[in-house]
C-alpha cells in the first residue's frame, strides 16, 4: 500500500515537473497546483521556477536603444540593396557604350592612320575621313543613285500619286 | 493586403527590438556583446529573409538567428581566452535596492543561471523569459525536444539545489556526486 502510494506520488511528481517545464507556473492545472502545496519536493521545484521566471524578466538600463540599431541596419540594408540593383544596370550601360564606340570605330568614316614617319623614330597619327561608300566590289550602284529619290518613288507608288 | 516577409521582419525587429536584445543580453551577460549579437542577427535575417519558408513563425526563425549570433559571440570570447565576467549582471544584482528575502533569492538564482552551461541557459531563457514551446525551442536550438527538456530540467534542478541546499533532493544529489567521485 505504502509502495503503491509512493509510486503514485512519483508519477504525479514527474508529471508536475514536466508540466512546469513545458508551460511554466501560470497555467498549471488545479490538480497539480494542489499537489505542489502538499508535496515538499514539487513545492520547491515550483518555487524555483517562479524565481526563475522572475529573474528571466529583469531588464537593465539600456546604454543604446536596440530599436535605433534595428532602424539603422534596415536603412543600411536598403541602401545596399539599391546599390546591388544599380550595379548590374551601370555595368550593362557601360558595356553597351563600349560596344557602340567599337561599332562606330569600325564602321565610321573616321579612321586613325599611323604613319611611321621618315626616320622610324617618330610616329604620326592622322584622322582621315573616308568618302561615303557608294559601291563595294560586287555591288554596282548606278551613278545617279540617290536614296532620297528612291524613297520618293516608293511613296508615290503607295499613295497612287502620278 | 498582407505584408511581405521582408516588411514583416522589418516591423518585428523594430517594434520588438528590446525583447530580442534582452534575450541576447541574458545569454551573454554583457550589453555591448548583446548589442553586437542583435545587430548581426538583424543583418543576417534581412539578408536571408527570402529563404524563410514559413515552416515556423517569423519570430521563431529570428530567434534561431539570434541564438546562433550569441553562440558566435561566445566562441570568439572564449577563443580570446577571456573570462566570462557577467559584469552587467553583477551590476544589476548590486543595484537592487530591496534587500528582502526575495531579492536575495533572486540574486542567488541569477548567479546560478550565470553558472549554467550556455545550452541550458538558452533553453531556460527561451522557455521562462520568452515563453516559447518546447518544440519551438528545439527548432531554435537545433536539437531534439528531449534534449531541450533535459537542459531545462537540469537547469532548474541546479538552481533548486542552490536555493534549497538542505533539501532531501539536494543532499541526495550531493551524495550521488560524491559516490561518482569515489568510483
Ligand atoms: Zn511531488
User: What residue segments make up the domains of chain A, in order of their start?
Assistant: 2-56, 112-159
- Residue A144: what pLDDT? 57
Of the candidates B43, B64, B85, which is a domain's last residue?
Answer: B85
B6 and B35 in a single domain? The answer is yes
Distance CA B124, CA A49 (A): 10
Better-predicted residue by pLDDT, B87 or B114: B114
- Residue B84: what pLDDT? 42
Distance CA A65, CA B85 (A): 23
**What is the grid cell recorded at A147?**
536614296
B4 and B68 in a single domain? The answer is yes
- Is the pLDDT at A154 greater than 90? The verdict is no
Distance CA A130, CA A110 (A): 6
Domain containing residue B6: CATH number? 1.10.1740.10
Interval A15-41: pLDDT, tens:
999 999 888 898 899 999 999 999 999
Interval A82-131: pLDDT, tens:
666 666 777 778 888 888 877 776 666 555 555 555 555 555 555 555 54
B63 and B27 in a single domain? The answer is yes
- Residue A4: what pLDDT? 44
B81 and B100 in a single domain? The answer is no
B30 and B101 in a single domain? The answer is no
Domain containing residue B99: CATH number? 1.10.10.10
- Residue B1: what pLDDT? 54
- Residue A5: what pLDDT? 45
Contacts of A63 in chain B (CB under 8 A): 31-32, 35
Helix orientation angle between A30-38 and A2-23, rounded to the nearest 10 degrees:
120
- Residue A42: what pLDDT? 94
- Residue A17: what pLDDT? 92
- Residue B155: what pLDDT? 94
Counted domains in chain B = 2
Confidence of residue B101 (pLDDT cuts 50, 70, 90): confident
Average pLDDT for B146-171:
88
Contacts of A27 in chain B (CB under 8 A): none
B60 and B98 in a single domain? The answer is no
- Is the pLDDT at B137 greater than 70? The verdict is yes
Distance CA B121, CA B28 (A): 10
Confidence of residue B171 (pLDDT cuts 50, 70, 90): low
Of A17, A59, A73, the CB nearest to B22: A59
Write out the DSSP string of A124-152. EEEEEEPPPP---SS----TT--HHHHHH
C-alpha distance from A22 to closest chain B C-alpha (Å): 6
What rounded mean pLDDT belongs to chain B?
84
Distance CA B35, CA A67 (A): 11
- Is the pLDDT at A149 greater than 90? The verdict is no
Burial A147-157 (b: 16+ CB within 10 A, else e): eeeeeeeeeee
Strands A110-115 and A124-129: antiparallel
Q: Tell me whether residues B17 and A40 touch, CB distance under 8 A.
A: no
Nearest residue of chain B to residue A25 (CA atoms)? B128
Q: Assign 3-state DSSP to chain A and report helix, strand, coil percentages, each to 5.
A: 65, 5, 30
What rounded mean pLDDT belongs to chain A?
73
- Is the pLDDT at B120 greater than 60? The verdict is yes
- Residue B111: what pLDDT? 87
Of the candidates B85, B107, B136, which is a domain's last residue?
Answer: B85
This model of the complex carries an ipTM of 0.79
B104 and B174 in a single domain? The answer is yes
Q: Tell me whether residues A48 and B160 touch, CB distance under 8 A.
A: yes
Better-predicted residue by pLDDT, A100 or B143: B143
Distance CA A15, CA A34 (A): 13
Interval B67-96: pLDDT, tens:
999 999 888 776 664 444 455 555 555 555
Interval B22-77: pLDDT, tens:
999 999 888 999 999 999 999 999 999 999 988 899 999 999 999 999 999 888 77
Q: Which residue range(s) make up the domain with B81?
A: 1-85
B54 and B126 in a single domain? The answer is no
Of the candidates B85, B113, B143, which is a domain's last residue?
Answer: B85
Q: Does A62 touch chain B (CB under 8 A)?
A: yes
Q: Does A48 touch chain B (CB under 8 A)?
A: yes
B25 and B80 in a single domain? The answer is yes
Amino acid at each position: 500500500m505504502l509502495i503503491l502510494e509512493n509510486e503514485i506520488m512519483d508519477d504525479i511528481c514527474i508529471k508536475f515537473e514536466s508540466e512546469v517545464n513545458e508551460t511554466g507556473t501560470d497555467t498549471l492545472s488545479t490538480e497539480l497546483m494542489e499537489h505542489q502545496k502538499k508535496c515538499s519536493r514539487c513545492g520547491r521545484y515550483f518555487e524555483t521556477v517562479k524565481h526563475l521566471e522572475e529573474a528571466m524578466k529583469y531588464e537593465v538600463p539600456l546604454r543604446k536603444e536596440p530599436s535605433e540599431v534595428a532602424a539603422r541596419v534596415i536603412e543600411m540594408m536598403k541602401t545596399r540593396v539599391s546599390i546591388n540593383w544599380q550595379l548590374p544596370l551601370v555595368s550593362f550601360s557601360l558595356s553597351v557604350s563600349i560596344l557602340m564606340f567599337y561599332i562606330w570605330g569600325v564602321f565610321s568614316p573616321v579612321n586613325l592612320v599611323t604613319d611611321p614617319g621618315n626616320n622610324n623614330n617618330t610616329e604620326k597619327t592622322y584622322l582621315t575621313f573616308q568618302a561615303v561608300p557608294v559601291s563595294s566590289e560586287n555591288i554596282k550602284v548606278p551613278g545617279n543613285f540617290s536614296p532620297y529619290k528612291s524613297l520618293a518613288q516608293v511613296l508615290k507608288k503607295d499613295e497612287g500619286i502620278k | 493586403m498582407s505584408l511581405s516577409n521582408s516588411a514583416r521582419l522589418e516591423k518585428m525587429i523594430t517594434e520588438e527590438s528590446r525583447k530580442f536584445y534582452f534575450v541576447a543580453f541574458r545569454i551573454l551577460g554583457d550589453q555591448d556583446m548583446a548589442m553586437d549579437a542583435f545587430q548581426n542577427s538583424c543583418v543576417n535575417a534581412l539578408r536571408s529573409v527570402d529563404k524563410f519558408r514559413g515552416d515556423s513563425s517569423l519570430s521563431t526563425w529570428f530567434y534561431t538567428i539570434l541564438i546562433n549570433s550569441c553562440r558566435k559571440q561566445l566562441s570568439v570570447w572564449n577563443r580570446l581566452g577571456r573570462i566570462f565576467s557577467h559584469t552587467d549582471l553583477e551590476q544589476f544584482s548590486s543595484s537592487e535596492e530591496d534587500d528582502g528575502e526575495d531579492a536575495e533569492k533572486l540574486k542567488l538564482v541569477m548567479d546560478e543561471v550565470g553558472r549554467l552551461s550556455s545550452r541550458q541557459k538558452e533553453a531556460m531563457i527561451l522557455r521562462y523569459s520568452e515563453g516559447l514551446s518546447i518544440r519551438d525551442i528545439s527548432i531554435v536550438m537545433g536539437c531534439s525536444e528531449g534534449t531541450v527538456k533535459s537542459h531545462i530540467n537540469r537547469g532548474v534542478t541546479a538552481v533548486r539545489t542552490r536555493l534549497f541546499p538542505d533539501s532531501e533532493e539536494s543532499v541526495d544529489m550531493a551524495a550521488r556526486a560524491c559516490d561518482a567521485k569515489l568510483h
